[in-house]
């Protein structure tokens, strides 16, 4: 279907989104007013606004009515480092609350060059298909031959079929089988958390292929080029050295030393075999190459030797498939990381759900004696069963919260999740500002939408015994993350800015021509956070969801008994958070 080419002239934007119904193949451009773009920018912010406009909160996230949104940003296509990013926004099939997953690749550049600031996909194709968007032409093509394929194989096959100029976002078997934490993959990167891959799978869409030539213009191109050069230079400084030299995997050894590395389903904060999974040990034993996202100067991607292609390793994958499951065999952990990439599974939710099941088996609550901590074979077998939804894998594909409710025995007390989203690799009892961030997170336990762990590792709080004073700091990190996720910039840049809001305003002035100020962007960040809350309220959120599992509120951390978080303290922190946000019980929050 050839689309009409008319659009409003804006700097940095096309001023419209592309809405595609894959049931019928109907596609149309829908205008986005400049005031909406200025209020929500792009990425997570624009995606949240479009979800609200679509009435998505009331829909079953796996129904044809539920929209799946790919939201770009005004910075995409510019020379600003880390700007080639997009957000995938939907109602989560895992949490039934708002979900936004961000990733960086050339898909962002090609998607925006199709002449839209966002892509909204609804409906359900009559057969497994690929959605092809070639500049102004939209078509839904059969893709039965790609059924059951790994993500990378699907992308390679479609490039061979459509041409090398196309950029592909695809799902693996996990998405096809509606695993509730399936990912969307593109160029080896993933929109990982919350199950966006299952949403795409529910639409019978194996992949989306984009190619475009429609570029936007910049309001002040010379000044933007100068700023881009300055930011690129700063991105190579000491603030990002950790990510370039060792990657996020170095967190594993650091947290273990602090006694706060989540181990064996959060039963301990110390893992005896942590050294086996350190970047130094992995690099020495396997060799390592470095890479980076498109349009990024940092180069944080560390790829370790494993077979012919190697595997990209991040801290969250090592923790979730390593220490959390008690597996210290680096070969087994790296193979599990790679298998998650192929199946299209979120490593955090996969590892968290498997670790939960291991503890349930250990306690005799499920009859799966093979499923035990420390077994690399058990880890591999569980992933295979989850990807195919066979045997116990069918239950584990539902995530730890749903699995706990099915298992009974009050196992929900040890299910490592908030609002249904599995907890990342930050021990809440030892990092109590982060505990608050997890509890109030719009999409559940989340270290990317709240940077509260930065507060815990600063001199602003006592991380084991936080007071109400920590709340304002947690809010600051949440607001900053909301703005970064909407502009969109990589959070690894956060340390290079002297005045983040002022410098972000400068970027937007050069890109859009708006007279943006730092104070305006602070208000924009708060508006985006409030929009996510409005969505959750419409989806059925209640105040009781803003909490942590019972384990964290009744049992001190065995490896660090001083790290103890009571239910009363967390409730006080949450109440103060709501007060400072200006959110009365049941109010939309602005």
Indicate if 47 and 195 belong to the same structural domain. Answer: yes
Handedness of CA 367, 370, 373, 376 (dihedral sign): negative
Of 97, 392, 71, 344, the residue nearest 200 (C-alpha): 344
Residue 356 domain boundaries: 243-422
Q: 324 and 185 share a domain?
A: no
Are 224 and 232 a contacting pair, CB within 8 Å? no
- Nearest Cα residue to 70 out of 213, 200, 211: 200
Kindly tell me the sign of the dihedral angle through the C-alpha atoms of 371, 376, 379, 381.
negative
Confidence of residue 243 (pLDDT cuts 50, 70, 90): confident
> Which of 14, 422, 439 has its CA nearest to residue 212?
14
pLDDT of residue 552: 97
Same domain as 254, residue 132: no
Q: What is the mean pLDDT of the chain?
A: 93
pTM score above 0.75: yes
Q: Is there a domain that residue 320 lies in?
A: yes
CB atoms within 10 A of CB 286: 17
Structural domain includes residue 555: yes
Least confident of 113-117, 404-408, 497-501, 516-520: 497-501
In a domain, 232, yes or no: no
| Over residues 406-434, mean pLDDT | 97
Average pLDDT over residues 232-259: 84
Task: Residue 100: name the closest of 199, 33, 178, 170 by CA.
Answer: 199
pLDDT attached to residue 587: 56
Residue 283: pLDDT band with limits 50, 70, 90: confident
Q: Is 315 exposed, middle or buried (0-12, 13-18, 19+ CB in 10 A)?
A: buried
- Does residue 231 have a pLDDT over 90? no
The residue among 387, 399, 391 whose CA lies nearest residue 354 is: 399
SS3 206: strand
Tell me if 107 is assigned to some domain.
yes
In a domain, 442, yes or no: yes
* Domains contained in the chain, number: 3
What are the tokens at 124? 């359900």
pLDDT at 146 over 60: yes
Single residue among 374, 400, 422 that ends a domain in this structure: 422
What would the two tokens of residue 558 be? 């065995």
Which neighbouring-strand residues pair with 133? Answer: 138, 210
CB atoms within 10 A of CB 223: 15
Of 211, 208, 202, 244, nearest to 81 by C-alpha is 244
Whether residue 186 sits in one domain with residue 257: no
Query: Are 336 and 381 spatial neighbours (Cβ–Cβ below 8 Å)?
Result: no
H helix intervals, 163-296: 173-176, 196-202, 221-234, 241-245, 251-257, 279-286
Tell me the Cα Rg of the chain: 22
**Under a CB-based contact definition with an 8 Å cutoff, are residues 393 and 403 in contact?**
no
Q: Which helix (H) or strand (E) holds 139?
A: strand 137-142
Tell me the average pLDDT across 457-462: 93
Residue that the structure tokens 């986005």 belong to = 32
Which of the four pLDDT bands, split at 50, 70 and 90, describes residue 590? Answer: very low
For residue 512, what pLDDT is reported? 97
Q: Categorise residue 405: left if φ over 0, alpha if ψ from -120 to 50, beta otherwise.
A: alpha
Whether residues 416 and 359 fall in one domain: yes
Residue 309 falls inside a structural domain: yes
At residue 217, the 3 state secondary structure works out as: strand
Contact (Cβ atoms closer than 8 angstroms) between residue 177 and residue 201: yes
Mean of pLDDT values over 57-76: 97
- Maximum average pLDDT range among 54-68, 73-87, 440-454: 54-68
- 442 plus 416 within the same structural domain: no
Cβ neighbours of residue 122 closer than 8 Å, sequence gap 6 or more: 19, 20, 21, 22, 23, 54, 64, 65, 66, 67, 68, 203
Which pLDDT score is estimated for 311?
Answer: 85
We report the CATH number of the domain holding residue 273 as 1.10.569.10
Query: Are 187 and 332 in a shared domain?
Result: no
Q: Is residue 202 part of a domain?
A: yes
* CATH assignment at residue 118: 3.60.9.10
Q: Residue 548: which CATH number? A: 1.10.599.10
Q: Would you state the structure tokens that stand for residue 235, as one six-digit string? A: 């991105």
What is the 8-class DSSP label of residue 423?
A: P
288 pLDDT band, cuts 50/70/90, is low
Q: Residue 478 corresponds to which tokens in the numbers above? A: 């949440």
Sheet containing strand 118-122, edge to edge, reads 26-31, 16-21, 118-122, 68-71, 85-91, 98-104
Is residue 261 domain-shared with residue 377, that is, in the same domain? Answer: yes
Taking the C-alpha atoms of residue 97 and residue 254, their distance in angstroms, rounded to an integer, is 33
Residue 6: inside a domain: no
For residue 287, what pLDDT band results from cuts at 50, 70 and 90? confident
Kindly tell me if the per-residue pLDDT of 586 is higher than 70: no
CA distances from 8 to 26, 111, 323, 366 (A): 22, 18, 52, 59
Same domain, 436 and 318: no
- What percent of the chain has pLDDT above 90? 80
Residues 185 and 118 in one domain: yes
- pLDDT at site 1: 52
Please indicate, yes or no, whether residues 279 and 157 belong to a single structural domain of this protein.
no
The reply to whether 441 and 538 lie within a common domain is yes
């Amino acid at each position: 279907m050839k689309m009409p080419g008319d659009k409003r002239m804006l700097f940095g934007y096309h001023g419209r989104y592309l809405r595609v119904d894959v049931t019928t193949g109907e596609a149309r451009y829908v205008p986005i007013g400049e005031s909406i773009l200025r209020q929500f920018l792009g990425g997570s912010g624009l995606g949240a606004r479009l979800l609200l406009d679509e009435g998505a909160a009331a829909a079953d996230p796996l129904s044809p009515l539920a929209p799946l949104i790919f939201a770009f940003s005004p910075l995409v296509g510019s020379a600003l480092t880390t700007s080639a990013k997009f957000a995938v926004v939907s109602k989560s099939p895992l949490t039934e609350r708002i979900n936004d997953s961000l990733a960086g690749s050339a898909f962002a550049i090609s998607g925006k060059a199709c002449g839209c600031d966002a892509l909204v996909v609804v409906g359900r194709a009559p057969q497994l298909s690929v959605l092809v968007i070639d500049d102004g032409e939209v078509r839904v093509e059969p893709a039965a031959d790609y059924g059951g394929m790994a993500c990378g194989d699907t992308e390679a096959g479609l490039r061979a079929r459509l041409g090398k100029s196309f950029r592909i976002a695809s799902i693996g078997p996990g998405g096809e089988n509606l695993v509730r934490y399936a990912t969307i993959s593109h160029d080896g990167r993933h929109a990982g958390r919350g199950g966006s891959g299952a949403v795409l799978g529910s639409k019978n869409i194996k992949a989306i292929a984009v190619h475009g030539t429609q570029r936007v213009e910049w309001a002040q191109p010379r000044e933007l080029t100068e700023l881009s050069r300055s930011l690129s230079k700063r991105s190579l400084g000491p603030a990002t050295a950790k990510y370039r030299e060792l990657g996020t995997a170095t967190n594993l050894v650091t947290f273990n030393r602090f006694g706060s590395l989540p181990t064996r389903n959060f039963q301990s904060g110390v893992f005896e075999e942590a050294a086996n999974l350190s970047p130094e040990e992995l690099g020495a034993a396997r060799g390592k190459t470095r890479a980076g996202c498109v349009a990024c100067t940092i180069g944080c991607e560390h790829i370790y030797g494993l077979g012919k292609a190697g595997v990209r390793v991040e801290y969250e994958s090592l923790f979730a498939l390593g220490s959390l499951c008690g597996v210290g065999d680096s070969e087994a952990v790296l193979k599990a990381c790679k298998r998650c990439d192929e199946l299209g599974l979120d490593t955090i939710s996969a590892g968290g759900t498997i670790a939960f099941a291991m503890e349930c088996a250990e306690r005799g609550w499920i009859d799966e004696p093979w499923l035990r901590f420390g077994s690399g074979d058990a880890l591999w077998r569980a992933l295979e069963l989850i990807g195919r939804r066979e045997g116990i894998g069918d239950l584990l594909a539902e995530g730890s919260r749903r699995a706990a409710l099915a298992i009974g025995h009050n196992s929900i007390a040890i299910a490592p999740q908030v609002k249904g989203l599995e907890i990342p690799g930050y021990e809440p009892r030892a990092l109590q500002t982060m505990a608050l961030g997890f509890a109030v997170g719009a999409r559940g336990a989340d270290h990317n939408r709240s940077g509260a762990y930065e507060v815990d590792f600063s001199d602003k709080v006592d991380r084991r015994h936080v007071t109400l004073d920590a709340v304002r700091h947690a809010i600051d990190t949440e607001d900053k993350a909301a703005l970064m996720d909407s502009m969109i910039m990589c959070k690894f840049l956060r340390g290079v800015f002297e005045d983040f809001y002022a410098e972000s305003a400068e970027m937007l002035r050069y890109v859009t021509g708006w007279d943006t100020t730092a104070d305006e962007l602070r208000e924009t960040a708060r508006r985006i956070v409030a929009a996510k809350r409005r969505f959750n309220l419409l989806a059925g959120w209640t105040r009781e969801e803003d909490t942590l599992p019972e384990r964290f509120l009744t049992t001190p951390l065995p490896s660090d008994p001083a790290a103890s978080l009571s239910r009363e303290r967390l409730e006080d922190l949450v109440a103060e958070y709501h007060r400072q946000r200006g959110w009365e019980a049941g109010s939309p929050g602005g």
